[in-house]
Amino acid sequence: MNAVTVHNLCKKMNQFSIQNVSFQVPSGSIVGLIGENGAGKTSTIKLLLNILQKDDGNIIFWEDPNKDFIQVKDQIATVFDQLAFYDKLSAEKINHIMKHIYTSWDSDYYFSLLQQFNLEKKQLLRQFSKGMKMKLNIIIGLAHHPILLILDEPTSGLDPAVRTEILDLFLDYIQNEQNSILFSTHITSDLEKIADYILFMHNGKVLLQENKDHLMHHYGIARCHHQQFTQLPKELIFAYQQKNDIYHVVINDTATFEEAFPDYVLDNLSLDELITISIKGEILP
Ligand SMILES: Nc1ncnc2c1ncn2[C@@H]1O[C@H](COP(=O)(O)OP(=O)(O)OP(=O)(O)O)[C@@H](O)[C@H]1O
């Protein structure tokens, strides 16, 4: 079952466009959305959430094409990087507001999460640090028991300890194998830790959606000189970048590569290098 199925999503926005974007968020999984600044990650999220109107394509939730966003929105929590509450409120006051908004709002769960994350319910939001605000943002998202969590850069600007707490919360959340998460981030190490799938966007298009373990085990980076590079079959190359005399080549089938080219230097893939080589270099069709 897919929590979200996106097929050929298109949106023209002045100079920029989302072009035939297709991907899935399988139930029980974490999908990490990566790509450079301006790749179209936030725009894609806004299209999913009906904040932006699509020009074309399909967005299907829980494989039911008859359900539009209005019918599923209570089952979805969205978290952007800003808290949408007046800063003279406390977490306790937010509970009063939210229980009138969501019939499924669970005050007990909300207060237990506040306690788990050491957030003081009577403290005013303006006295919260950035990390505390983001934790609260995510807790507010979770307290009505959504089955899909969509987050735009939830861990940006947070210290490693807070990030780890949030990533652990995400892992707990998907334990029931029905809940799902789609989140965009520039912190690829977070995705290397917890993502099940990587969705890589560039210039408004999806370059790659792949199981993370498959990427980590079957993709790699070969380093070679021009003459060696010319011997590589195109079907083994995802992208390459030439820097000085060295070609840095993203290989998409390391087992076949190592068998055919045992003398070449082959490093493990890092998501940062995948992004850099693809964006600064050439992507093969
Ligand atoms: N409302 C809008 N109208 C027109 N263009 C927009 C609008 N919102 C964003 N854009 C443009 O769309 C492009 C993609 O922006 P978007 O915010 O989706 O990228 P992103 O991948 O989330 O980037 P970042 O990592 O910097 O947050 C940018 O060129 C941006 O200027």
Q: Cα(16)–Cα(184) distance, rounded to whole angstroms?
A: 19
Specify the residue with its C-alpha closest to ligand 1, atom 27: 37
What are the extents of the domains in the chain? Answer: 2-212, 219-283
pTM of this structure: 0.93
- The residue ranges of the chain whose pLDDT is under 50 are none
Q: Residue 162 has what pLDDT? A: 86
Three-class secondary structure assignment of 27-69:
CCCEEEEECCCCCCHHHHHHHHCCCCCCCEEEEEECCCCCCCH
Q: Cα(80)–Cα(152) distance, rounded to whole angstroms?
A: 5
Of 28, 6, 25, 8, nearest to 17 by C-alpha is 8
Q: Residue 220 has what pLDDT? A: 97
> Greatest CA separation found in the chain?
68
Cα of 26 from ligand 1 centre, angstroms: 25
Q: Residue 82 has what pLDDT? A: 78
Cα of 38 from ligand 1 centre, angstroms: 5
Specify the residue with its C-alpha closest to ligand 1, atom 29: 38
Question: What is the Cβ-side half-sphere exposure of residue 160, based on CA atoms within 13 angstroms?
Answer: 3
Q: Residue 20 has what pLDDT? A: 97
Ligand 1 atom with least separation from CA of 39:
21
Q: Which residue has the tokens 């800063």?
A: 87
Task: Summarize pLDDT for 109-155 with one digit per residue, the tens.
Answer: 999 999 999 999 999 999 999 888 989 999 999 999 999 999 999 88
Ligand 1 site residues, Cβ closer than 6 angstroms: 13-14, 16, 35, 37-43
Which burial class, exposed, middle or buried, applies to 70 when counting CB atoms under 10 A from its CB (0-12, 13-18, 19+)? exposed
For the sheet with 16-26, list strands across it: 16-26, 2-13, 56-61
Ligand 1 atom with least separation from CA of 36:
25
Q: Cα(105)–Cα(118) distance, rounded to whole angstroms?
A: 20
Q: Residue 55 has what pLDDT? A: 97
Q: Residue 188 has what pLDDT? A: 93
Q: How large is the ipTM?
A: 0.96
Specify the residue with its C-alpha closest to ligand 1, atom 16: 40
Cα 75 from chain centroid? 19
Specify the residue with its C-alpha closest to ligand 1, atom 4: 13
What is the dotted CATH code of the domain comprising 2-212?
A: 3.40.50.300
